[in-house]
Amino acid sequence: MDRNSATMSDEASDLYREIDRLKSDLRQLRTDAGTLGGDAMRTARAGLNETVRTATAQGKAAVAGAEKRITDHPFLSVGAAFALGLFLGYRVTRRN
């Protein structure tokens, strides 16, 4: 029986060592997962910032183009704005 209890004690020690290794691996996994999550957030934020910069540049270009057309053709611009106002007024009045 002594021999049997020694074997059980060795197995218990091995089991405790495996549990300690598992705990260590889980701690490392948690650290690695946190790092990956942070990297993913940084990548997503960089992509979002680039999209905002692109949209801002396109918006500025559209405004500049519209200003140029209005400056080049002021009477046509006023006429188009008047027609659009009439159309929207008609649509709003028809709904109510």
| pLDDT exceeds cutoff 80 at 5 | no
Q: Show me where the domains of the chain are located.
A: 2-95
Q: Kindly report the pTM of this predicted structure.
A: 0.47
Dist. CA 58–CA 11, nearest whole Å: 69
53-83 pLDDT, tens per residue? 999 999 999 999 989 988 999 999 999 999 9
Q: What is the pLDDT of residues 20-37, one digit of tens each?
A: 888 888 888 888 777 777
